[in-house]
Structure 1
Amino acid sequence: MSSVYAFTQAGTTTALTVGGEALSFHELRREVEARKQRLSGLPPGIAILRANRSWKFIANFLALYEAGLPQAVFAPEWTPSEAEMRRRTLGCCFELDEDLGASWQSASSSPQHHPDTSLVLFTSGSTGAPRAVQLSRWNIEANVAAVLKSLDFSTARTQTLFLPLSYSFGLLGQLLPALAIGLHTELLGNLVELKARLEEARPIGMISGVPSHYEALLRLLGSGSTLGKGVTHVVSAGAAMPLPLRQRLLQAFPSSRIYTNYGQTELSPRVLCLRSDHPAFLSSATGFPVGNLSVKLTAQGELCVRGDQVMLGYLGASEATREKVQDGWLHTGDVAELSPDGLVTILGRNDELLKVGGERLSPFEIEAALRELPGVEEAAVWGREDPLYGTTLTAFLQFRSGAPCPPKRELRQALRERLSVHKVPADFYRVSQLPRTANGKLQRHRLAECVRPEHRID
């Protein structure tokens, strides 16, 4: 299969800007070709790259990819124990430095990965232990083609990217499509750098992040800010985008198109997309399938997906793979609604849906109402098992700096104006920070750790 990356066509156009250093597509192509020449004599198994925010990582990634050598991408911030756990999952593997020298090699010399494995990415572990997802080149390029179309990459002037490159959203969902179409990408370290560029009215083009990133960005910009002149595309994925955030983004970026998306690493990763010019955008709807993906619901309402982006399987976990992929359909673990025209609305994960009084509730609706409470910056809700009352709802509120914390009675009264009585949490806790992964996803299974008597709101 030929490379999808338009280095030759783009020529002297800038491909990457990192830390003020610019690299053209021609220079990137030259670096990739030079690094491909260094790949002979590598040990057997999967090559590990640390996803540093640098053009060297990107050139190394592309060199391995084009040479057809399997690789795994590790986050640079993982602790030694986290890295070692993932090395054990990979089995036969070795780690490469930025100059493609082998800095570490496993004792195992018998590869266990799928023969078509091109890339191994680890799930974020937002609902449990991370797994090693094996993706083929076919998976990756199907995703690139789907994303290019669904996000209208051809209409973007440039891309500004601060997502981690160890994250499927950042690497496969944003960086590779930009390279494929010959679009310049500037890599930033954080939201503060993006805020500075917005305030300086620099060309920004396409930006991407999870909803919590946009909540933070809008707070940094200040209420009522309209700084969207340099922004053409605002892409959100990684978590549900609540309706109030959709409305605020439309206000902050009036000349931009907003995209809400849904995906999973096991699906390379993009699955659903909904644009702000669609009437359903100002609702809780999630999106339509991208590329050649098909979707269906099980009798229990679980969303299943089939198509070219379905992973090869989990490395070292054949039973988990069989449970996840059945007859070609990948079971997402998310409960959804499907309209006759194919529009999907994600309600929540099987294990996240809250059953109160015999009714299944989505936490997203309740959390959206919690975020509308005065002074609340972020919020999460947890279904707490109670031997007397069954499941009771507990809310965790992260307040803005300096904002007062109202008593529970006032919080409940304000929520009754937005929610049915059975959806109003019984207990409230104030937290300084909600538990999240490095990618900004809420770790709902860790909310129980936030139940502390000294933080209870009475």
Structure 2
Amino acid sequence: MQLLVSDIFRNAAVAVPDRLAYAVGDQGWTFRELDLISEQAARCLLDRGVRPGDHVAYRADLSLATVALFIATAKIGAVFAPIDPALSQGEAADLERLVGSDLSLSLDRSGVERLLAEASALGGVEQVPDDGMDERAAHVLFFTSGSTGAPKGIPVSHRVSMLRSHPGAQPESRGPALCPFPLFHMAAWTIALQQWQARAAVILPETFQADAICAGIAAYRAERIYCIPAIWRRVMDHVDEMRAKGAPLPDLSSIRFADTGTSATPPTLIEGLKDLLPQAQVRIFYGSTEAGPVTCLEGSALTERAGSCGLPMQGVRLRISEAGELQIRGPSVFEPESMSADAGFTADGWLRTGDLAEIDADGFVAITGRAKEVIRSGGHSVSPTEVEGVLATLPGVRDVAVVGLPDPDWGETVCAAVVAELGQAPPDLASIREGCAARLAAFKHPRRMVLVDQIPRTASTQQVRRGALVAQILEERDA
């Protein structure tokens, strides 16, 4: 039997047709409605010439339309390629060029709205045939910088998506899950598929601000939520502010599972979550676009193994290379043969994570650093050289290097070390960020800038000695 993403919705539309499947704010679709609109949209995609294996790109915003397009492409065997809507037109075009001749259709918001308007006018439609579909074919392409800093596409097959998100043999009641992740991010779709396989609802807040997240939890009595540490900080600060004002506190009592991960999770955050949600089980996950969920830390280990990211998930195998890099095998790892791009695997088939790690005698994993120079900030990957290329063109900049500084909420924060041009007024952070505005997504903009006399570089190749630069900045900060 083939493991196909489309079967999730076709089966749920029969079993639980009137159960809520998806909502954004106060607008939602049942499983029957979601199955119908995606079937209609699939017909419209076929009419536009989209065929199995073709890629459909979309700047994936927080909307019902994004989900309909995701499912419609899966039903016809096409590949959904969600793009971060925060990217500039040039950055988005660069990602589309990675897809190459396989890109059949690129839609903006108005294009998707027209597609769905045409789809809804079709009324009842027959199911799109899927007899020839292959579970190992890609159905979604996630763009990530991975451990190299250079953008690349990670194709995830139907089979891998189903195995990453399978809830077990029985679709036991899970209750709604609130998902504060953008819809170009792998985590959003993994959470959604976990819910949909269990025939439960996915709720997206209208924004990722703390008040909207809390309102979504209360309105839908959400039982599960996964937030990166920075988002959890927003929620806790919001509740503290409401308490200080003497205002009614948001009702978060329905939460049973409060999950976090993606960047470093300090013990103080865990204690704050336990105070905020005493009724909830708190868990830390480690994973990636390439591998899906890899490890989980929970229970007493949260305090007894502080600094660890937990034990391997079911079916996951881990090893540490001679260079100290964490490497992974398992059914949730993407299958590189479905795309010709560099896959980052060892010769014997283990995924290279780019993370330096240690595994203790009891099997607990601790991430100790990065094998490459890419900056990980709030779940995003930032290439220092890409940002440096923009900053080097700005007025008043003689030399520049970009590094990631440790940050308790974001994992790392982007910092620009600038050597000012002689005889000119040195730039400040505001002018640096303004110069990035039209050329780089906001998450790539420096959040800190320091003026230095020179950038430490290697003698022969003049490469930035980033470790030495970080140490210099931290030493001066703490002096």
Superposition TM-score, scaled by structure 1 size: 0.69
Match of 1:21 among 17, 27, 32: 27
Q: Quick one: distance in 2 between partners of 1:439 and 1:384?
A: 14
* Alignment partners' CA distance in 1, 2:46 and 2:220: 43
CA distance in 2, matches of 1:285, 1:170: 24
1:4 aligns with 2:8: yes
2:198 to 178, 181, 189: 181
Deviations 1:331-356 (A, max 9, x none): 11111111233221211212469xxx
Give the drift of 1:195: 5.1
Which residue of 69, 84, 106 maps to 1:95?
106
Q: 1:167 offset after TM fit, Å?
A: 0.4
Aligned with 2:189 (options 171, 187, 201): 171
The answer to whether 1:220 aligns with 2:238 is yes
Is the counterpart of residue 49 in structure 1 residue 58 in structure 2?
Answer: yes
Question: d(CA) in 2 for partners of 1:30 and 1:59?
Answer: 9
| Map of 1:451 onto structure 2 | 450
CA–CA separation in structure 2 for the residues paired with 1:240 and 1:451:
24
- Checking the alignment, whether the CA contact within 8 Å between 1:228 and 1:255 is kept in structure 2 is no
Distance in 2 separating the partners of 1:449 and 1:205: 37
1:245 to partner: Cα distance: 1.1
Secondary structure (helix, strand or coil) at the match of 2:237 reads helix
Structure 1 position 193 matched with structure 2 position 211: yes
Cα pair distance change 1:224/1:299, threshold 3 Å: farther
Q: Which residue of 2 aligns with 1:271?
A: 294
Q: Deviations over 1:84-139 (max 9, x none)?
A: 0001111021213325759xxxxxxxxxxx98222110015686232111111111
Give distance in 1, aligned partners of 2:413 and 2:73: 43
- Residues 261 and 285 of structure 2 are in contact (CA less than 8 Å); yes or no, is this contact kept in structure 1? yes
- Whole-Å Cα distance in 2 between the matches of residues 73 and 51 of structure 1? 5
User: CA 1:216/1:325 → structure 2, altered by over 3 Å: closer, same or farther?
Assistant: farther
Check the 8 A contact 2:147/2:354 in 1, yes or no: no
Structure 1 position 71, deviation (Å) = 2.3
Post-superposition Cα deviations, 1:161-196, rounded to whole Å, max 9, x if no partner, equal 221011001122x11111111111221122233454
Quick one: distance in 2 between partners of 1:239 and 1:439?
18
Counterparts of 1:382 and 1:21 in 2: how far apart (Å)?
36
Q: 2-side partners of 1:40 and 1:61: how far apart?
A: 14
Superposed displacement of residue 52, structure 1: 2.0
Asked if 1:344 corresponds to 2:365, the answer is yes
CA spacing shift, 1:380–1:451, aligned 2, 3 Å: farther
Corresponding residue of 2:225: 207
Q: Name stretches of at least 5 consecutive residues in structure 2 with no aligned partner.
A: 117-134, 244-248, 375-404, 418-432, 434-439, 453-472
Deviation by residue 1:405-449 (Cα, 9 ceiling, x = unmatched):
xxxxxxxxxxxxxxxxxxxxxxxxxx9xxxxx9797xx7xx8796
Alignment of 1:47-86 (within 5 A): 47-86=56-95
Q: Partners in 2 of 1:135 and 1:40 — Cα distance?
A: 22
SS of corresponding position for 1:60: helix
Q: Residue 281 of structure 2 corresponds to which residue in structure 1?
A: 257
Cα distance change, pair 160–324 in 1 and its aligned pair in 2 (3 A):
same
Q: Distance in 2 between matches of 1:344 and 1:229?
A: 32
* AA aligned opposite 1:217: V
Separation in 2, partners of 1:381, 1:50: 25
* 1:312 Cα deviation after fit: 2.7
Q: How does 1:422-433 map to 2 (within 5 A)?
A: none
Paired position in structure 2 for 1:248: 272
Change (3 A) 1:47 1:329: same
Q: Which amino acid aligns with 1:95?
A: S
Q: Does the residue aligned with 1:272 lie in a helix, a strand or coil?
A: strand
CA deviation vs aligned residue, 1:42-99 (integer Å, no higher than 9, x gap): 2463111332212221112111112211221112222111110001111021213325
Q: Counterpart of 1:129 in structure 2: which amino acid?
A: A
- Are 2:303 and 1:304 aligned? no
What's the TM-score, normalizing by structure 2? 0.67
Q: Is the 8 A contact 2:214 2:235 kept in 1?
A: no
Residues 261-297 of structure 1: per-residue CA shift (max 9 Å, x gap): 1111111x21111223546665111022223121111
Q: Distance in 2 between matches of 1:144 and 1:199?
A: 22
Aligned AA (1:35): A
| Percentage of identical aligned residues | 21
Measured on the aligned residues, the alpha-carbon RMSD in Å equals 3.9
Cα 1:169–1:196, aligned 2, differ >3 Å: closer, same or farther?
closer
